[in-house]
Amino acid sequence: MGMFLVGILSWWYGRGWLGQWRRMSDRWRATVQFFSIGQLLATLFSPFRQISANTGNNANPMVALRAVFDQLVSRVVGAFVRSFTILAGSVVIAIQVVYESLLLVLWAFLPLLPIIGFILFAIGWVPTWM
C-alpha cells in the first residue's frame, strides 16, 4: 500500500504535473496562434478587403480621388477591425492565463483534499448548508 501511494504521488507531482503544464502551454499557444496578434499588429493599417480602389490607366482626377478615398476607408476599417481583434485576443489570453494558473495551483493541492476531508469528518465538522 505504501509503495502504491508513493507511486501515485510521484506521478502526480512529477510526470502528471509536467503533462498538465504541457497541455496548458499547448492551449495557450493555440489561442495565441488563433488570434495572431503579432501579424495583426504588423498589418494594422493595411487595406481591408480592398476591391475597387484601382486607378488603372485612367487619367481622370475624379477616378484617382475616388481611389484614394476608397483606400483610406479600407485602411480605417482594417485598423478598426484589427484593433478590435487584438483587444479581444488580449482579453481572452489574459483570462486564459489566470484560469490556467489557478488549475496549476489546484493541481498541487488536490491530493490533500481527501486528507483534509477525513480530518474534518473525524472532528465532526458539518457544512452550514447541511
pLDDT tens digit string along 91-101? 999 999 999 99
Among 34, 45, 27, CA closest to 89 = 34
Q: Is 7 domain-assigned?
A: yes
Q: Is 127 domain-assigned?
A: no
Q: What is the distance between the alpha carbons of residues 109 and 100, in angstroms, rounded to a whole number? A: 15
Q: Is 123 domain-assigned?
A: no
| For residue 27, pLDDT beyond 90 | yes
| For residue 53, pLDDT beyond 60 | no
Among 42, 47, 40, 98, CA closest to 74 = 47
Q: Is 121 domain-assigned?
A: no
Number of domains the chain contains: 1
Domain interval for residue 65:
2-103
Q: Is 71 domain-assigned?
A: yes
Who's near 26: CB < 8 A, 6+ residues apart? none
Ramachandran quadrant class, 48 (left: phi over 0; alpha: psi -120 to 50; beta: rest): beta
Question: What's the pTM?
Answer: 0.72
> pLDDT tier at 26 (50, 70, 90 boundaries)?
very high
Q: Is 23 domain-assigned?
A: yes
Q: Is 61 domain-assigned?
A: yes
Q: Is 117 domain-assigned?
A: no
